[in-house]
Amino acid sequence: MAYPQVANAPFDDHDADVIFRTFDNVDFRVFKAVLSLASPVFKAMFTLPQPVSAEPPAEAPVVPISEMAEAFEPLLLICYPATPPVVEALRDVRVLLEVARKYDIACAVQFAANQLISPRFLETNPVGVYCIAACYGLESVARAAALQTLNIPSFGRPSAYVEEMELVPMSTYHRLLDYHYRCGQAAARVADVEYKEWVWELDGIFPSCHCAIYDEEGGTPIRLWGFFGKLGGVADNLKGKPLGITVIHSTGFRAATKQIIVSCEECMPEWSDNERRWQAVSQAFARRIEEEVTKIQLEFMAY
């Protein structure tokens, strides 16, 4: 049988009082006091009675573990006052969470959660982050990932598949689809003429003239009826990608806004080539969309 390989520093200290030997035969020399502070599982392990011997042991006791060295080393680096591990891939975060849960190491779970919400994972693979978060009960991470999936147009198509989906049951993924759908419906309603609660803010951005009269007391300004009537395509876009940025980048929204102005000879000169007004209208719409989407809550259920 090959001799065990000694792990890299700081886990090669010969003064260590316990040795963890991984499944792939790598020895990690560590101090019980450090690991006892980080993990109640390790603390309980180290308090178990040891065999009585008349002679002092030649070296620290060896504890065989089922983890591979590449999975165990990041966990120890988080527990030690050392340079934290470098996590290259989402799979590495999942492995770290699995080992951290086994040994009940809260600081490692928090480290993994922080990795999941970093832009390199959250922005590039929000579905994968959501599935991992749901699998390990990280509710705040799951909600952040669900919000990030709103950037995926028409979410739910087969192209959205990621391998982390295999970690969760269909019901967990369905809750994410349902969240995206409800956000789309909420965003699309902002472009509906029946949604009158905020048109006062929008109407105030347009020039004041006779076309701003209201169809009824407390109703919608007449000029905005035509505006909302032209937003069907924008509403469809919002159902697929329910974010304020969808409106800001929408050529259909700008075209609908322009139609209000060109229909009024009094407004046209004041509006023509005024980029600031275009931006004000689209940003007002975008803000309202973000407000409505924020009201939608993901149904989170740990399992």
Q: Note whether residue 192 is domain-resident.
A: yes
131 part of a folded domain: no
Across the chain, which has 303 residues, the per-10-residue mean pLDDT values are 85 94 96 95 85 56 94 96 91 96 96 96 96 96 96 78 90 94 92 61 63 57 64 84 89 73 65 66 86 94 71
Domain total of the chain? 1
Query: Do the domain assignments include residue 63?
Result: no
In whole angstroms, give the CA distance from residue 244 to residue 17.
58
Side-chain half-sphere of 216: how many Cα atoms within 13 Å?
A: 2
What's the confidence (pLDDT) of residue 252?
78
> Burial of 9 by CB count in 10 Å (0-12 exposed, 13-18 middle, 19+ buried)?
exposed
Neighbours of 275 (CB within 10 A): 7
- Domain annotation covers residue 277: yes
Per the domain annotation, does 230 fall within a domain?
yes
CA distances (Å), 251 to each of 33, 234, 255, in order? 63, 9, 6
Structural domain of residue 254, as residue ranges?
A: 187-295
Domain membership of residue 225 (yes or no) is yes
* Gap between the Cα atoms of 206 and 222, Å rounded: 13
Rounded Cα distance between 228 and 140, Å, is: 36
Q: Is residue 13 part of a domain?
A: no
Q: Answer whether residue 130 is part of any domain.
A: no
The answer to whether 162 and 127 are in contact (CB under 8 A) is: yes
Euclidean distance between CA atoms 271 and 208, whole angstroms: 11
